[in-house]
Copies of this chain bind each other. A is one copy, B any other.
């Protein structure tokens, strides 16, 4: 069973991104039947969706778990919906800002996550990891990659389990902030990732 796991490089004022760190450490799972393919996406409105499409084409994964950073969230956010919308508050890492544009003019207005969100939420909370369902993945790069992967899969291999997970800031990012900012320990994110992968693998069997 092949699962694609992606993260993002740092963006905005941050020099680190927990989703990048997470993906780099996720070289294996406890389940010998699961093969992980990992990739770190650029925060580039053109290259990021291209890379996601290429990864899907090359690896034909049975499932995708895409991670990103959402500064200000206090819990791991299991995103429910990807919008067909690009509306950036800050430029991407190439300096490009896109305002109020669809991702695919002919695509559907939204895609819902096909991950087993309720079992994932229950499994995280059961071991004391702050987690929540979220109704908005924003309209920046995370949503762009989320929509792109759902759209690509809908056309090529409908039914593939895939979705997006937003991580809180890391403690070292909160330490640098001059205002209150929630954070989560990296070891807890790693524990969460293993639980999410396990729930995903269980749901695929």
Interface residues of A (CB under 8 A from B): 73-75, 80-81, 83, 85, 87, 89, 100, 108-112, 118, 124-125, 128-133, 135-136, 138-139, 170-172, 174-178, 180-185, 187-188
Q: Verify A109–B131 contact, CB threshold 8 A.
A: no
Q: Verify A174–B74 contact, CB threshold 8 A.
A: yes
Given contacts A75-B180, A100-B118, is CB(A135)–CB(B132) below 8 Å?
A: no
Q: Verify B182–A183 contact, CB threshold 8 A.
A: yes
Q: Verify A181–B81 contact, CB threshold 8 A.
A: no
List the B residue with the shortest CB-CB distance to A181.
B74
Q: Verify B138–A74 contact, CB threshold 8 A.
A: no
Copies of the polypeptide in the assembly: 4
Q: Verify B74–A182 contact, CB threshold 8 A.
A: yes
Q: Verify B125–A74 contact, CB threshold 8 A.
A: no
20 contacts between A and B (CB under 8 A): A74-B74, A74-B180, A75-B174, A75-B180, A80-B85, A81-B110, A89-B178, A108-B109, A124-B175, A128-B170, A129-B171, A130-B171, A130-B174, A130-B177, A130-B181, A132-B180, A135-B136, A171-B188, A185-B185, A185-B188
Measured in the bound complex, the distance between the Cα atoms of B81 and A87 in whole Å is 13
Q: Verify B187–A187 contact, CB threshold 8 A.
A: yes
Q: A174 contacts which chain B residues (CB < 8 A)?
A: 74-75, 130
Q: A74 contacts which chain B residues (CB < 8 A)?
A: 74, 174, 180-183
Q: A83 contacts which chain B residues (CB < 8 A)?
A: 81, 110, 135
